[in-house]
Structure 1
Amino acid sequence: MLNRISLRQMQYFVATAESESIIIASEKIHVSSPSISAAIAHIESELQVQLFIRQHAKGLMLTNIGQQVMQECKVILGQANSLYALAADFSGSIRGPLKLGCFSAFSPMIYAEIIHGFTHLYKNVTLQLCEDDQQVLLNSLSRSELDVVLSYDLNIDQDLIHFEPLAVLPPHVLVSEAHPLAKSAAVTLDELATYPMVLLDMPYSNDYFLSLFRQQKLSPQVAHSSRHMDVVRSMVANNLGYTILNVRPKNNYSLDGKRLVRLRIAGEHRPMKIGLATAKNANLNTVAQAFISRCRAFLSNQYIPGMGDAHFFDAHVKTKPALQEA
């Protein structure tokens, strides 16, 4: 009987089907790989069908029946989420699911205070967290797979998505202690263009960093790149080049223990804005509205959880008063 398959097992199966990998699904939904494997095995046993074809090079591929089971599971999960949302809206309580997206480059810094703090405060909230790049998050938001996205103001389609900026993050330069520019108070893009660059190569972000040079008719020497900020920071710390970033972790060391030096960029340059993205046609439930209120209270130009040295940029940022929770 279908009631022997839990909603949680369906969630694990759908996450794996969408990721085409148990490992990737594990990282996205923060559940161990053995738990996901057990859930899939249980569903296959209950239904007496094979859900995936396991390919060595290409990962997991749904069988024909697996495709149909996934669609039915998504319908059932959607109906269950609607029941929780309806109850929360009717009672006014903060209870039910929250499908949250967060840009992966800054999610480690804001996770504890904003995301974990919210679920700790409202214990009846079920969080589904997606950490990914801007392109994936905006696409998921437009398909109503996410309720709210914490992201940058990059490539926002204003006809489909509403973006509420909360804090401004100007660009800055990171170099190693051994870099020739390490002792400079500030550097120009002209100076940087003569040195190798390490590019954070994420969709939309990469174009933003390169556009800073294009606006001054300069071409940076991109020598290395990575989609992962910690890898970029390690390359820079090992003096493979400089990088330009907007997030400013409190820790000025790479993961291999080498010190990084942060420098101002002389002149005026377009900052990134961190904020909240929601679909314009979305009817936000009580849970999503409560999370948005928390973000407004905890994110401002004066303070961003997990980030340091806001005064470093005071000359470039017009600040707004920090909001307080009612």
Structure 2
Amino acid sequence: MLNRISLRQMEYFVATAKHGSIATASAQIHISSPSISAAIAHIEAELSVQLFVRHPSKGLGLTAIGTLVLQQCEDVLSQSSRLYEIAAESSAAIQGSLRVGSFQSLTAMIAPEVIFGFSRAFDRVELQMVEGDQEVLMNKLRALEIDLAITYDLHQGDDIEFECLATLPPYVLVGEVHPMAQLRTITLEELAPQPLVLLDLPMSRDYFTSLFAKAGLTPNIVARSSSTEVVRSMVANGIGYALFNIRPKSNLSLDGKRTVRVRLAGENRPMLLGLATYKAMKQSRLTRVFMERCRAYISDQYIPGMSSSAFFDRYVSGS
């Protein structure tokens, strides 16, 4: 099945074509070069075409098919922009109260661009963000206290509708001087006896320990915290390793020490990041417009505040 080409990926391609250089486009739109490269590679793979040729002295040049794709992308982006303008002109569509739940370990990355970026674009929207773990968010959906949640596919129940936007496989995080920092991959069997610092959130803790249980193993948990940053700091200071799915762009803990990501070998269940809604609650037009924004801003190729999957794969494999 073909993957979608997101509006965000089109924007990166158009910026690169306009500036003739990934590095220049990166500087102009404030997006990392690896993220732009991954977006272009995805479009080329999706369409089975070559968009650019590299000229030694002139940088990147569009191929003939690349020029045609550029025109179409510009048209789509223009139409998309017009959709928001039309929606903004409709007082019935883009005004009112929107209550968005956010899984707490995702909030620092997702909230500024996706959630509050929406309220900045539509000043008639009164936006309320509610942070919480999975249990809190599911309870608030059922109590009609939030309209939707940006969260994971953890223990939702048949009354919850979940739409996956991105796949986040688990990986191992260690301190810079940890012996495992020199490895490209590590197995659960090798990890089990090592000290584990567990991200101790309801349902999340069950997810991480289930990875070991499926392999008939028991992890050696030496410390716990419900705070992502506390876990990262403990890891950076050599207390143990941790398992994570989110991929922050920074490899530094809050106390300035460096962490290293190592690929977890084997077939391990990923976390699915997406949108959760309560089936019994009819979605308002405002909610549906916000969900469209989420679809445009969150994908396997781009998640605000995170390293792209393509860049992450190269990083942890050392290539």
- In the TM superposition, residue 150 of structure 1 has moved relative to its aligned partner by 0.5
Is 1:209 the equivalent of 2:243? no
Is 1:135 the equivalent of 2:135? yes
1:281, 1:245 → 2: CA distance? 32
Task: Kindly provide the CA deviation profile for residues 194-221 of structure 1, in whole angstroms up to 9, marking residues without a partner as x.
Answer: 2100000000000000000000001100
Query: Which fold has the larger relative contact order, with Cα–Cα distance below 8 Å and residues 6 or more apart in sequence?
Result: 2
Code of the residue aligned with 1:253 in structure 2: it is L
- In the TM superposition, residue 299 of structure 1 has moved relative to its aligned partner by 0.6
Return closer, same or farther for 1:313/1:257 CA change in 2, 3 Å cut-off: closer
1:249, 1:313 → 2: CA distance? 10
- In the TM superposition, residue 314 of structure 1 has moved relative to its aligned partner by 5.3
2:307, 2:313 → 1: CA distance? 12
- In the TM superposition, residue 91 of structure 1 has moved relative to its aligned partner by 4.7
- Give the secondary-structure state (helix, strand or coil) at the position aligned to 1:202: coil
Alignment correspondent of 2:237: 238
- Give the secondary-structure state (helix, strand or coil) at the position aligned to 1:140: helix
Return closer, same or farther for 1:253/1:313 CA change in 2, 3 Å cut-off: closer
Alignment correspondent of 1:151: 151
Identity of aligned residues (%): 50
RMSD of equivalent CA atoms: 1.5
Pairing of 1:304-319 with structure 2 (within 5 A): 304-312=303-311
- In the TM superposition, residue 93 of structure 1 has moved relative to its aligned partner by 3.0
- Give the secondary-structure state (helix, strand or coil) at the position aligned to 2:206: helix
- Contact persistence 2:300–2:308 (CA under 8 A): no
Choose 1 or 2 for highest CA Rg: 1
Pairing of 1:117-128 with structure 2 (within 5 A): 117-128=117-128
TM-score using structure 2 length: 0.69
Structure 1 runs (4+) greater than 2 angstroms displaced: 90-93, 312-315
- In the TM superposition, residue 180 of structure 1 has moved relative to its aligned partner by 1.2
- Give the secondary-structure state (helix, strand or coil) at the position aligned to 1:273: strand
Task: Kindly provide the CA deviation profile for residues 139-182 of structure 1, in whole angstroms up to 9, marking residues without a partner as x.
Answer: 01011111010000000102x11000100000000000121111
Q: How many residue pairs align between the two structures? A: 226
Code of the residue aligned with 2:256 in structure 1: it is G
- Contact persistence 1:170–1:313 (CA under 8 A): no
TM-score using structure 1 length: 0.67
Task: Kindly provide the CA deviation profile for residues 65-91 of structure 1, in whole angstroms up to 9, marking residues without a partner as x.
Answer: xxxxxxxxxxxxxxxxxxxxxxx9x95
Alignment correspondent of 2:40: none
- Give the secondary-structure state (helix, strand or coil) at the position aligned to 2:93: coil
Return closer, same or farther for 1:299/1:122 CA change in 2, 3 Å cut-off: same
Structure 1: gaps of 5 or more residues: 1-87, 316-326
- In the TM superposition, residue 116 of structure 1 has moved relative to its aligned partner by 1.4
Alignment correspondent of 1:292: 291
Code of the residue aligned with 2:177 in structure 1: it is A
